[in-house]
A and B are shown apart, each in its own frame.
Chain A
Amino acid sequence: MHDGKVIAASIVDPEAFGAIFERHYDAVTSYVGQRVGDVVGEDITARTFTVAFARRDRFAVSANSARPWLYGIATNLIRHHTRDERTHLALRGRVPIPTFEPDPNQDVAHLDAKRLAGTIRDALLALPERDREPLLLHVLGEFTYEEIATALGIPSGTAKSRVNRARRLLRERITAATGIQSWTAYLDEDPDGDG
């Protein structure tokens, strides 16, 4: 039974909503934890599901997956923790990026890993929130543009342009800081797979 039917059933039988928790908790908490850290993330993830439960009557029961809806709620809650997110990013920037696959066409592997982490941290912090959110849903949540649009309540074209703009800005900053030039052109790639 897909998520929409489960949530519809939970209107009459609230306990049915437990299945939504079991299906999506791990993914939501992973994403939230990556965004703000595990300590704050535990609170936000728990509240994501209680808020979702309270508002389940507004979920589109025809939807197969509640994942974008849940991530959207989590994203809204994360916005109340901007400071925690920035602190978490700052801390991550001190941790060297651990591994790289050696690639003769890439000079990333030869970079100082700690310096690279700091560069990515700075690049992420420099992104406007309106661009960072879709980018992180795309990269960490592996969301399609449509799913990003659903999660953030924006048109899918807007989701696509924001992800692409964020990626371009990140690439420019990393290139400027490290001298990496051999980026593969990904801006036209469509994660929806429809061209």
Chain B
Amino acid sequence: MAMDERDLIRHFFGEPGVDPAAKARARLLLGEAMQGRRRDVSRIGVAAAIVAVLVVSALVWSTSRPRSAAARALDDLAAVPYTALEPGSGEYLHQVSEEVRTEAQEVLGGGEVRAQVLLDVDQWLREDGSGEVRSVTRAVTFPSPEDERAWSESGGPPLPVAGRLVRDEFGPGEGPLVAAEDIPVDPDLLVTSLRDGSIAPYGQGDALAFALIGDLLAQGNLPGPTRTALLSAATTLDGVRLLGPDEDQLGREGESFSVRATNVETRLLFDPDTGGLLSRETYEQTPSGAWDLVGWQAYISVELVRRIPAAAS
């Protein structure tokens, strides 16, 4: 019988085996999950169930470092089946999002006026990496009465105008989306690259590295291993926390995670059913110590389309 490289691989890995004790522990763990840890355990069996859970947990987890609730939840998101959307010939990757960003401008007298700008954003990416981004200003508001008063007292300087369309076409490698080959999947290198700006210059601190992870995940076109590596990298960021169930600014429900740095906090909201990113929110700490929402992005859809519609103007 001839041998090929597959036989060599099988020889290399050796004969698989099943440890009956490990199987019994796994079955206990599954049984605990099937019964519902909190809801359905009978009163009589509570003490026994707790002891069993502790024993099984100790056995199963004794060989690995304990992981935080955030890390486990991110692991679960990574386990959700995922299919990358890669545009083929004649196709476009179309991402639709809404975002609010705070724009500040100096006014007479040295003060500052802040305005919050709500944008509808569409971006299309071709197979060769070229594409187009369009953003339409939908509304402009002031984040506080003080900002509106300062704007008025400074003579009402120009603000972004609702309905304004900004359209940018870009060539291969020039667009806002990061190419998969520029994102390392080696865990240590990925975290370093997220932090040092070599993937995209988001700034210093793990809150911004977390924001970058969010935007990369929202692209929808990264290979599965890259997506998993990004979620795994998120578990290693300083101060990553699971905030639990929450809603985004569009009222969509999901599971929220946070990374807070010196004066910036990034929150990512995931849909636990699809593993997809729903939104990213940015908070900044005010001098009084409060944390203000200063910007957000809601990722509405990402899909493959055959054409880019004509721009309205």
A residues in contact (CB < 8 Å) with B: 14-15, 17-18, 21, 25-26, 29-31, 33-34, 38-40, 42-43, 45-47, 49-51, 53-55, 58, 69, 72-73, 76-77, 79-80, 82-83, 92-93, 95, 97-101, 103, 105-106, 108, 116-117, 120-121, 124, 129-130, 133, 135-136, 138-140, 152-154, 167, 170-171, 174, 183-184, 186
Contacts and interface: CB of A to CB of B under 8 A. Distances in A.
Contacts of A108: 3, 8
A77 B4 contact: no
B64 A51 contact: no
Binding site of A, secondary structure by majority: helix, strand, loop or mixed?
helix
Given A14-B34, A18-B31, A170-B5, A97 B11 contact: yes
A18 B31 CA distance: 8
A139 B11 CA distance: 11
A51 B79 contact: yes
B31 A92 contact: no
Given A17-B30, A42-B60, A34 B16 contact: yes
Given A39-B63, A80-B75, A53 B30 contact: yes
Nearest to A113: B11
Given A79-B225, A100-B3, A116-B8, A53 B34 contact: yes
B269 to A, nearest CB: 19
Given A55-B80, A82-B187, A49 B17 contact: no
A169 B311 CA distance: 47
B254 to A, nearest CB: 16
Binding site of B, secondary structure by majority: helix, strand, loop or mixed?
helix
A67 to B, nearest CB: 14
Most buried by A among B18, B29, B78, B187: B18
A69 B3 CA distance: 30
A103 to B, nearest CB: 7
B75 A139 contact: no
Contacts of B26: 21, 25, 29, 42, 45-46, 49
Contacts of A14: 34-36
A38 B19 contact: yes
Interface of B: 1-6, 8-14, 16-19, 22-23, 25-27, 29-31, 33-36, 60-61, 63-64, 75-76, 78-84, 185-187, 223-225, 228-229, 232, 273
Contact of B223 (A105, A130, A135): A130
Given A26-B18, A43-B64, A103-B1, A21 B33 contact: no
Given A51-B76, A139-B10, A130 B30 contact: no
